[in-house]
Amino acid sequence: MIEYIKGELVELSPALAVIEAHGVGYALSISLNTYDGIQGKKEAKLFVHEAIQAGGRDDSYTLYGFATKQERELYRMLISVSGVGANTARTMLSSLSPNELCTAIANGDEKLIKSVKGIGLKTAQRVIVDLRDKIVNSGIADEFHVGTPSTKTSGINTAVRDEAVSAMTMLGFSPAPAAKVVAAILTEQPDMAVEMVVKEALKRIK
């Protein structure tokens, strides 16, 4: 089992990071939270969750990377909930910061959790019921300072449209509607950073 990968950050988009370690390039699916934590760096260390899917014509093997152990732990909690798959959990960590998500679960805020694309009311309620005690008992709530405002900031503003559409496509949305939503957001707020564009697009896309 791979615990973490550390090396040169050779490629980065809001949904994917490629790290070269000892001559091997590892492609890791990431959340916007992790993207924000490693952008601008030449080297990165990502904690890994390995997802293996067997069956059908092809088996798949995907590496998910996280900037902190705490975010990985939260991700693993999310995918333990019935109805929350690997990509849905990543979308949750892209739509909400870990702080916001932990606070919502701890406070039973099903409305905020349901605002994430792909999460219905029943799934939001199940996330709260299954994880509320786990989040408190594991200490992860303390790690993310649950109840305090998020201080997440960013400053990337080049090729925002293309990068945002690419990220939405990698998160499973069709390019055409994704491009339409992204264009509308950037028309309203031309200087918005790419991860914020994607976060807003995840709320608006239908």
Confidence of residue 178 (pLDDT cuts 50, 70, 90): confident
Residue 188 has pLDDT above 90, yes or no: no
Q: Look at residues 68, 93, 95, 67 and name the one whose alpha carbon lies nearest to residue 79.
A: 93
> How do residues 73-108 score in pLDDT, each as one tens digit?
999 999 999 999 998 999 999 998 888 899 899 889
Q: pLDDT over 90 for what percent of the chain?
A: 52
Over residues 8-13, mean pLDDT: 96
What pLDDT score does 148 carry? Answer: 44
What pLDDT score does 50 carry? Answer: 93
Burial of 1 (0-12, 13-18, 19+ CB in 10 A): exposed
Distance CA 173, CA 88 (A): 12
What pLDDT score does 149 carry? Answer: 41
54 vs 43, higher pLDDT: 43
What is this structure's pTM? 0.72
Confidence of residue 156 (pLDDT cuts 50, 70, 90): very low
Distance CA 10, CA 18 (A): 6
Over residues 58-79, mean pLDDT: 90
Confidence of residue 154 (pLDDT cuts 50, 70, 90): very low
Number of neighbours of residue 126 by Cβ within 10 angstroms: 18
Distance CA 180, CA 159 (A): 16
> How do residues 115-153 score in pLDDT, each as one tens digit?
888 899 999 999 999 998 888 776 676 666 555 444 333
